[in-house]
Structure formats: structure tokens, C-alpha cells
Amino acid sequence: MRSPRLTRLAAFALAGVVCASAASAQTSTGSTTNPPKPPPQAPSVPENVDRIRDRVNTPPTLVITDGQLRIYVEVIGRWPHFYEYTKGTDFLKGPAGGRGAITHNELLGGLTPKELYGSGGISVSEILQGAVVNWLGQMVIKKGLKEISAARNSDEIAKIRARIDRELEALKGGK
């Protein structure tokens, strides 16, 4: 494999040969007399020179002092009044004609199914009784699961499961 120094030297030598051959071919084929150049023409003066001079002489609107960019703007206009935004709005009757907007209760009344209005024949005492039985059942199951996780053999686990089943049957109103 060649060294990088040798590769660079070969590239420079090749570039020099190409440039020298192109320069010698140009001088040997070219004529020694240059064609005459046309005399340069004076630039034409535009019609609006006065307007250009006025623009050049006006002070710049972009001023940078103390490294801070400051732009001065003149706003031509007036501040809008609240009445212009609310023109034609009747605040006493609301946006809908004849009455105000729909209330939250009216919206829920239209969207809630009629079946959910009543208790379905279940009294308050029955709901409370169901909640207490549910809570007691959860406590029995939690206690049994703790005892099962602490049990050492399958005989203890079978006894615990049988006891949980008896307590749940008693809660349901069975034996």
C-alpha cells in the first residue's frame, strides 16, 4: 500500500502537468492581437433621481445603540371600544331568543335515561344491608388469604378454605 505522502506528491505532479499543457496549448493557438474593445458607455440617469436622493438622505428607522435593537413604529388608528365587540347582543335575554342558554340540570335531564331516575324497587335499608354484607365478605376473604399465605402445609390450607366457605354461606343466609 502506498503512503499518503507519495499519493499527494503524485496528485500534485499530475495537476501540474495538466495545467502546463493547457496553458501552452492556449498560447500556441491564440493570436497575438487582441480584438478592439468597444468604448465604455456612460450609465443612463433614471428619471426619479430626486426621489432616490430623498430616500438616501432620510435617517434610518432601524437604530442600534448599546447593543440593543430598537425599532420605532407609528400606529395610526384608534383603540376599539367594548361596545363595538358586543354590538347587537342582548345581555338580558342571552344568546338564544326568548330565554337564556340551557342549564346544566336541563342538559342532564335530556341526556339521562329515564330508567336511572328511580331506585328500581330497592329501598334504602336494602341498599345499606347489601353494602354491609359486601364489606363483611371482603373482610372474610382478606383474612382467609392472609392465613393461606401463612399456612405451612396443604391440610391447613384445606381447613382454612372450608372455614371461608362456611362463613360466606352464613353471610348469604344459608346454613
Q: Quick one: pLDDT band at residue 2, thresholds 50, 70, 90?
A: low
Spatial neighbors of 163 by CB under 8 A, at least 6 apart, are 144
Write down the pTM of the prediction.
0.29
Spatial neighbors of 148 by CB under 8 A, at least 6 apart, are 157, 160, 161
* Residue 143: other Cβ atoms inside 10 A: 14
pLDDT number for residue 100: 64
Percent with pLDDT over 70 in the chain = 77
Tell which residue, 159, 138, 139, has the closest CA to residue 148.
Answer: 159
pLDDT in tens, 10-47: 777 767 766 666 556 555 555 556 667 777 776 777 77
Q: List phi, psi (to 5°) of 78.
A: -125, 155
Residue of 175 and 3 predicted with greater confidence: 3
Q: What is the mean pLDDT of residues 70-93?
A: 83
- Residue 165, amino acid: D
